Amino acid sequence: MSRAGYQREYHVAVIGSGGVGKSCLTAQFVQGVFIESYDPTIEDSYRKQIEVDGRQVMLEIMDTAGTEQFTSMREFYMRDAHGFLLVFSITSLTSLQELAELREQIVQIKGGDPNVPIVLVGNKSDLEEDRKVSRSQAFKVSQAWGNVPYYETSARRRQNVPEVFVDVCRQIMRKDLSRARRDRGPERPGYGGGSGHTYSRRRRPRRQKTYDDDDYYEPREKRSRCVIL
């Protein structure tokens, strides 16, 4: 598969415990401008084309809002996603703590890859007076996770909403490119398949990270982006 030939389509999973405003974030991002009514039941409900660094990218947002409790589903989302928004609410310390577990799961599912494109998102920044998670606290966590960018957003006020998606998208693209450069030989079949197996879950070939994926990633460059508004 030649990556350059296709319009890039990336899957971004928005993950976080219930009540942190994930769905708000996604709805705001996908909806863009005000539309008469938002119908989340159609195919394109969570798709949005954006331009990142001069490239057109189709983002498909996989929001677990509503299915947080289906823990078995979670892995589905995680495995399909190329990048992650880990969302917590700055008004709830628990919501940040719960992310740690989810982040671990992501890393595990992505074959222990510590450089999975992740953005840490502290939502509800408009509720400053109810803040329970200080910026430094959150920033520390983001550093602990390999200097992942940390943003504070307000889905309600549309602050930093596109930014977080663009950031994670940029990470995915960078990774995608470095990988393409390195990628020699045929595309590996889907997960679960040893060399002799043809079993692939996907019709559309997609790079799947599996547990024993032995791809080697260059250590990511030092990042210290922290956008706080």
Instruction: Give residues 76-115 in contact with other proteins (rule: CB under 8 A).
Output: 76-77, 79-80, 100-101, 104-105, 107-109, 112-114
Q: How far is the C-alpha of 66 from the C-alpha of 60, rounded, in Å?
A: 17
Which of 32, 40, 55, 180: binder of other proteins (CB under 8 A)?
40
Binding mask 192-211 toward other proteins (x if CB under 8 A, else -) reads xxx-xxxxxx-x------xx
The answer to whether residue 162 forms part of the interface with other proteins (CB under 8 A) is no
The answer to whether residue 217 forms part of the interface with other proteins (CB under 8 A) is yes
Count other C-beta atoms under 10 Å from residue 215's C-beta: 12
Q: How far is the C-alpha of 205 from the C-alpha of 190, rounded, in Å?
A: 7
Which of 1, 32, 56, 75: binder of other proteins (CB under 8 A)?
75
Closest approach, Cβ 224 to other proteins, in A, equals 12
Q: What one-letter code names the amino acid at 156?
A: R
DSSP H stretches of helix in the chain: 22-31, 71-80, 93-109, 135-144, 161-182
Closest approach, Cβ 126 to other proteins, in A, equals 15
Q: How far is the C-alpha of 65 from the C-alpha of 21, rounded, in Å?
A: 9
Q: Which stretch, 128-136, 141-149, 163-171, 173-181, contacts other proteins (CB under 8 A)?
A: 141-149
Cβ proximity to other proteins, 105 vs 135, nearer residue: 105
End-to-end CA distance of the chain: 40
Cβ proximity to other proteins, 3 vs 47, nearer residue: 47
Which of 1, 3, 53, 66: binder of other proteins (CB under 8 A)?
66
Q: How far is the C-alpha of 203 from the C-alpha of 156, rounded, in Å?
A: 38
Closest listed residue to residue 133, CA positions, set 148, 146, 115, 152? 152
